[in-house]
């Protein structure tokens, strides 16, 4: 009996945690609103070595998910697994091919891990992001499965951006008044008009 080759390891479906430890969450809350989109925000204090190590581990955990490349074949296999849970009656080969093609088109640019996570959400009924009230007695349509998968992928990308942003933040430099140089007289005169 030939032994089949081992499949490549799939990344974990979700990071263990999407939240920050309290000290880092507090630091993130102190970011200035005007720097909301800045890649290098001004931090109210420097990161400790432990905090930097925690952020580094979190980035390492989330990056493979957020930066995963789409694999349409594996994504389609994940969709097929979900469809087997909801078997259809006697359907023709043509209908089966059309359904397969529709899922292939919908999932061609989505990482397989996100499709698997979306399938899990569908089975658990965690589909509030779809907005409408889908009938969970039937498999999701290709656009529904795509929407859930893209939502999973977007969450991973957003979390990775937050973590990297904190790691790249710069500490605010505050110079006490007594150590500041006085403005040149010409500049003062120009300011006073």
Q: pLDDT above 90 covers what percent of the chain?
A: 39
Name the pTM for this structure: 0.75
Summarised one tens digit per residue, pLDDT across range 164-176 is 999 988 887 777 7
Q: What pLDDT shows up at residue 155?
A: 93
| Nearest to 15, CA basis, from 114, 115, 130 | 114
| Nearest to 145, CA basis, from 53, 83, 57, 73 | 83
Q: What pLDDT shows up at residue 10?
A: 45
HSE (side-chain half, CA atoms, 13 Å) at 56: 7
| Nearest to 107, CA basis, from 74, 139, 136 | 74
What backbone phi and psi angles, to 5 degrees, belong to 170?
A: -105, 145
Bridge partners for 42 per DSSP:
170
How many other C-beta atoms are found inside a 10 Å radius of the C-beta of residue 106? 24
Summarised one tens digit per residue, pLDDT across range 101-126 is 999 999 999 999 999 999 999 989 88
Helix (H) or strand (E) holding 153: helix 142-168
């Amino acid at each position: 009996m030939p032994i089949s080759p081992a499949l490549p390891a799939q990344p974990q479906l979700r990071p263990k945690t999407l939240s920050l430890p309290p000290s880092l969450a507090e630091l993130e809350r102190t970011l200035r609103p005007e720097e909301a989109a800045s890649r290098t925000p001004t931090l109210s204090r420097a990161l400790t070595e432990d905090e930097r190590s925690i952020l580094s581990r979190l980035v390492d955990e989330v990056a493979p998910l957020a930066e995963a490349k789409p694999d349409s074949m594996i994504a389609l296999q994940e969709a097929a697994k979900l469809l087997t849970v909801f078997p259809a009656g006697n359907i023709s080969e043509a209908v089966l091919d059309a359904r397969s093609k529709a899922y292939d088109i919908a999932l061609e640019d989505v990482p397989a891990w996100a499709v698997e996570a979306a399938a899990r959400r569908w089975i658990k009924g965690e589909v509030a992001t779809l907005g409408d009230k889908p009938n969970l007695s039937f498999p999701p349509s290709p656009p529904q499965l795509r929407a859930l998968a893209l939502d999973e992928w977007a969450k991973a990308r957003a979390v990775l951006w937050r973590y990297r942003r904190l790691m790249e933040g710069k500490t605010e430099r505050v110079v006490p008044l007594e150590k500041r140089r006085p403005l040149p007289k010409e500049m003062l005169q120009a300011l006073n008009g």
